[in-house]
Structure 1
Amino acid sequence: MPTYFVTGTDTDAGKTLVSSALLALARRRGLSTLGLKPVASGSTDTREGLRNADALALQAQSTPDTDYELINPFAFEPAIAPHLAARRANMSLRLDDLEDHTRPMLALERDFTLIEGAGGWRVPLNNHEDLAGLAVRLELPVILVVGLELGCINHARLTAEAITGDGLTLAGWVGNSLDGGFAHDASADDNRLLDDNLTTLARCIHAPCLGMIPRLATQNPAAMAEQAADWLELPDAD
């Protein structure tokens, strides 16, 4: 069962969009899917409890249907770093607890599973552990989402180096357009600059490019996932 950990160059790089789109693409191919968000900040208090928009987007692309609590066991209301959000809730986040929850989920044996991180690769869980440790413990290949904006080359190179430095395989990367070109109304100069950035990223990141997502007109999460899927390819399970 191919399982990947999805991280980003920064907060709001587009991890959820890419994860949802890859899951949507897998569903198109008749595969069973599962998207997990072990830790999520920035959740809304509902009748059912705290609900996070990113986790809900992953739940919508998980087939067969999966209960929310299984997808997102640790949800916090403030949109701040997970370890700070947990502290405000008088809770602690530990890798042992995340691993205890996640390993049984992987035993569900879906055809294609993604575990989405929070923030960037080195986001802390507590004073001694970070969320990247979950990918390390589970020995998962990693998909890197690069938010295409000023500074992304440096962020992407540092993140790729950190992933491989932790002994994991970088299975591929995806460019997600946040600023400037790769849109219908972008100027020629914007698009040339974007092309130059992409060429540099392809040279510096020693992993396959799984696609480039343009700025999308819709804001509906399910529609965005379907549109973005048209620009992506699934990573090679080998």
Structure 2
Amino acid sequence: MSKTWFVAGTDTGVGKTAVSCALMAAAAASGFRTAAVKPVAAGCDNEGQNDDALCLMAGMTEALEYSQVNPIALEAAIAPHIAASLEGKTLQASRLVGLCRGVMLGKADFVLIEGAGGWRVPINPRETLADVAIQLRVGVILVVGMRLGCINHALLTAEAIRRDGLQLTGWVANQPGPRMARHEENLETLRQMLPAPLLGDVPFLQHWDATEAAKHINLQSLIE
């Protein structure tokens, strides 16, 4: 089975997709075959496709069908369980796990499963997207959006991951907008308090480019 990580965020809009593409670009530069899955995406275009999923497809080395990368594509850009309810659909962690495993069993040896929003995003009244990572028993990469409040969000998320019995295998500091005040001090606090290695400090790029962002990523601790 491929080496797989679940990419979680401290919140929505922190740059999970951008960081996932940067991680895949760094892995590809090291000779790995890459693939990614966004099992649930809410917010699609007129063709029923999600921008984040399309970005993941453009960033991976393996040629996968859209339905493999984003098997559950919901129209409304709202919480997944609400969007699914509006379409008369029921989301189940066990089904999402099976869909993810289909890609994990493929030819890629570096696979990312991207969540939606934060760690505890509901998919039905009893389950959250965290249950997908729990059932897959994979390590977690946390994307920390470097903005006011990030320390609290990051520490609480790391605590939740640990309580769920999973390993936080690394984290990435991502600047989703103009550089936050006291960036270095916030970064150092997170470095000292998060129980996992820092994989990268990705700056805000006016014109996003995964290859450029990958220059700020170090995968050594993951690859080892």
TM bucket normalised to smaller: over 0.9
**8 Å Cα contact 1:149/1:180 also seen in 2:** no
What does 1:1-238 correspond to in 2, within 5 Å? Answer: 1-46=2-47, 50-181=48-179, 190=181, 193-219=182-208, 224-234=209-219, 235-238=221-224
TM-aligned CA distance change 1:45 to 1:180, over 3 Å? closer
Deviations 1:209-229 (A, max 9, x none): 00111110104xxxx211111
TM-score normalised by structure 1 residue count: 0.90
Q: Structure 2 CA distance, aligned partners of 1:178 and 1:17?
A: 9
**8 Å Cα contact 1:2/1:237 also seen in 2:** no
Secondary structure at the aligned position of 2:14 is classed as: coil
1:180 is displaced (CA, Å) by 4.7
1:98 is displaced (CA, Å) by 0.6
Deviations 1:85-139 (A, max 9, x none): 1011111101121112112221114110000000000000000000010100010
Q: Structure 2 CA distance, aligned partners of 1:120 and 1:14?
A: 11
Secondary structure at the aligned position of 1:215 is classed as: coil
Deviations 1:33-85 (A, max 9, x none): 10110000111122xxx100100111112222111100000001111010001
Q: Structure 1 CA distance, aligned partners of 2:80 and 2:46?
A: 17
Secondary structure at the aligned position of 1:120 is classed as: coil
Q: Structure 1: which 5+ runs fail to align?
A: 183-189
Secondary structure at the aligned position of 2:11 is classed as: coil
Deviations 1:184-207 (A, max 9, x none): xxxxxx3xx111101111111010
Q: Structure 1 CA distance, aligned partners of 2:203 and 2:222?
A: 23
Q: Structure 2 CA distance, aligned partners of 1:225 and 1:113?
A: 16
Count of residue pairs the alignment pairs up: 222
Q: Structure 2 CA distance, aligned partners of 1:181 and 1:95?
A: 36
Q: Structure 1 CA distance, aligned partners of 2:85 and 2:166?
A: 29
Secondary structure at the aligned position of 1:236 is classed as: helix
TM-score normalised by structure 2 residue count: 0.95
Q: Structure 2 CA distance, aligned partners of 1:8 and 1:99?
A: 19
Aligned sequence identity (%) = 47
Secondary structure at the aligned position of 1:3 is classed as: strand
1:181 is displaced (CA, Å) by 2.6
1:236 is displaced (CA, Å) by 1.8
Instruction: Please tell me the residue identity of whatever aligns with 1:4.
Output: W
User: CA-atom RMSD, angstroms?
Assistant: 1.3
Secondary structure at the aligned position of 1:118 is classed as: coil
Secondary structure at the aligned position of 1:153 is classed as: helix
